[in-house]
Amino acid sequence: MSEGQIKKFMYVNRKAPHGTIYALESLEVVLIAAAFDQDVSLAFMDDGVYQLKKGCNTKGIEVKNFQPTYRALDDYDINKLYVEKEALEARGLTEEDMCVPVEVLTRAEIGKLMETQDIVLSF
C-alpha cells in the first residue's frame, strides 16, 4: 500500500445479525480493510446492536456463528466500538449484554462523530 494520510472510516451497522447478510458482510469488510491501517470505528445503531448481543448459538439454524470474531477486532487494532443508547433501551438491552467492550453513546453523539469522518460505510 502506498503511503498516504490516514483517513477516518466509520462503519455504520443497523441490521440484526442473522436475518440478513449485512452484519457478516460488514464484519468481513472491516477485517479486510484493517490491512490498510486507517482510523476505523464501528457504530451499532437500531437492530445493529443485536449483532453484539452475547450468547449467540447458531447450531440450530445451521449457519456459521461469527459472533466470536468481534472479539478478534482488538487484534486488528479496531477498538472504537460505539453502541446507540436509544437502541439498547428500545430492546431491553444494556452494556453488560454486549460481547465486547463498547462505548454507549446517544444518537446525537454518534451523529456528531459521523460528521468528523472522511468515509462512512453503511450496512
List of residues contacting another protein (CB under 8 A): 15-20, 28, 31-32, 34-35, 46-47, 50, 53-61, 63-69, 71-72, 75-76, 90-93
C-alpha cell at 122: 453503511
* Residue with Cβ nearer another protein (47 or 105): 47
C-alpha cell at 22: 449485512
Kindly calculate the radius of gyration of the chain based on its CA atoms and give it in whole angstroms. 14
Supply the DSSP symbol for 88: H
Instruction: Identify whether the C-beta of residue 52 lies closer than 8 Å to the C-beta of residue 95.
Output: no
* Residue with Cβ nearer another protein (39 or 46): 46
To the nearest whole angstrom, how small is the minimum distance from the Cβ of residue 39 to another protein?
16
To the nearest whole angstrom, how small is the minimum distance from the Cβ of residue 116 to another protein?
25
* Residue with Cβ nearer another protein (62 or 115): 62
To the nearest whole angstrom, how small is the minimum distance from the Cβ of residue 1 to another protein?
9
C-alpha cell at 74: 482488538
Measured in residues, the chain has a length of 123
To the nearest whole angstrom, how small is the minimum distance from the Cβ of residue 83 to another protein?
15
* Residue with Cβ nearer another protein (90 or 119): 90
Specify the amino acid at residue 98: M
Neighbours of 104 (CB within 10 A): 18
